[in-house]
Structure 1
Amino acid sequence: MPRPENPIPVDAPYRVFAEQLRTLRRNAGNPTLRAIARQAGYGPTVLSQATSGRRLPTLDVTLAYAVACGGDHDHWREQWLIARHQAEPANRYRVLNQPRTSHGIRTVPAFLQALRDFRIWAGSPSFHAMARRVHVAPSTLCDVTSPDRTVLPTAYAVRSFVAACLPNPAPDSTEVKAWLATHQRLRAQEEARRPHRPQDDRGPSTPGAAVPVPAADAPSDTGDTRSWPMMEGIPAERAAFVKTLQQAMACTELSQRQLASQSNCSPGTLSRYLRGFRLPTLWNLEDLIDALQRAGADPDLLEQLPDLRVNAEKSTARDKRLIADLIRKNRVLREELARARAPRRTSP
């Protein structure tokens, strides 16, 4: 029979995380620390300190402890990241009376620190609470202000982070647009500082030599906008959404990289959307529709995308509340699209 564990101090900085580890141990049948140590590969003393709440155990110790107690590897990696960011000993009692803005920021480190200050102004909400407000993974928000981050996060992550800190999270608010404008300016500065790629050695060696033209059906390195192999075995609802998205993009002259840049996502993420590996969030879909609409895509196809997106989600979602929330957001998105197209319809 295992000996009783010492109580966790009330003021322990990692009290919640330690309680989670102890609950996992109890659910696994409350094995002794020596039994866990034999499976985890760490000594009983190290494992006991991991659940004391005074210090955050290393990621390796956390994963070894969790797996030995039957926990999921990816889940506990995410919990460790959340605990690492939630404690914030230096900022726990710091209060900002005025919200931090992105005005005047010229470097990436200053931009990242401004995001941290913006969350402090919002009352230092937990990443779980922030994630529920904007419907993203908590780890996505944790990664934005990670102490190890030295490069810009994605525009989607910045928008989600800022919106989650606002009293009324809205992706098109003035604050979100200001942060995204600063993000885009810093991204352009990074691109300008990158060295240019050397000219391809396979090009013509003498002036006036013919430049080889690729075949018409060959995919370009900027993303061929006319052919994407759809993932096999996906539900019919998702296939209908993907096919309509492909048709809408085929109406434009945008390359995959160009559309990704205009819709605030990476080319790899857009490629997953176009092949059916992932469904875009409603925020991502709104950006995609706006970019396609500006590029001259068929309006009838764009009108079908929100409904098809919700149907594709309903084919896999099990939570009725999630489905209702998706339908409500879909209705709001359709109303915004109708308002955006209203001048076009009424014009002679």
Structure 2
Amino acid sequence: MQDIAKAAGVSPQTVSRVANGSDAVKPETRQRVEAAMERLGYRPNYAARALKHGRFQDIGVVMFNTATFGNARILDSIVANAADDDYSVTIQTMCHGAERTLSAAIDRMQRQPVDGVIVVLEERISDFVGYKPPREFPVVLICESAADHCPTVDADQYGCSTAIVDYLMSKGHKTVYHIAGPSTSRAAESRARGWREALEQMGARVPSMYIGDWCANSGYQAGVALAHDPDCTAIYAANDQMAYGAMLGLQSAGKRVPEDVSIVGVDDSLVDMVPRLNLTTMKLRFDDIGATAFSMVRRQCEGEKIPVGVKTVIPPELIERGSVLDIS
């Protein structure tokens, strides 16, 4: 800063004001200081800035993986919103071969220069109930259930299923078959529970459930099997990949979609990948989930209190295409 001050002909205090974005600097002086910074290769020392201001302007994100469609969209939204507010993002995944707990994940993230953390809890963990984050270290959870001590946000996974069942039953189908996600997934568990309880409340038969792995091949195998069930006229798959695989499996066994079997997926993940996509789906607004989670943690970092014990729900949106037939 002394070098910059000398080169620009100003005081070190003026250089500090420019580096910290203060408005108390004349535009022509700011330009002269910034030109000197550029010429001499000055970069702010964020560790020193954090010591002075109490913040690193960096948010941590913890995920089980970054490859699934929903996680990738959530992460992209967090990064984009962080950049808009001049924050950086530090990413970690849950350790393999170690106990996967909130306590361990937050402890690891606290060793990094971050001001707070967002945890995407797509799997069950042992210390979710009753977990208390460290004092003065904001934690936001993206998960299905509201946490007692952390702000929580997510899509309505359960309501997504009940809405799909209502939709298919309103088209004249007597029941709805379900291709579920893996048993380790909290979202898959909630979607399966919503499907089952919606049918029970309507007094409809609850068929056997097929369990997939989120991938199209598992949907294909389920589709081939369901093609031989004469009572199967409607299928709800827990994501679009399995739904699209089921469509192909049904067609390979001689069934037509939607003339013989109607299908609905979840997440609207194939719209930019499959040409002439004909799959009706329940779109989960992952971008809004990421944006809301970032807003929650940033506001806490800046001193605002965010309610805990309740979940902020981002409602899904039904996207109707051509994979459902009204048979009523």
Normalised-by-shorter TM-score class: under 0.3
The structure that is helix-richer by fraction is: 1
The structure that is strand-richer by fraction is: 2
Taking structure 1 as the reference length, the TM-score comes to 0.23
Q: Which has the higher contact order (CA 8 A, sep 6+)?
A: 2
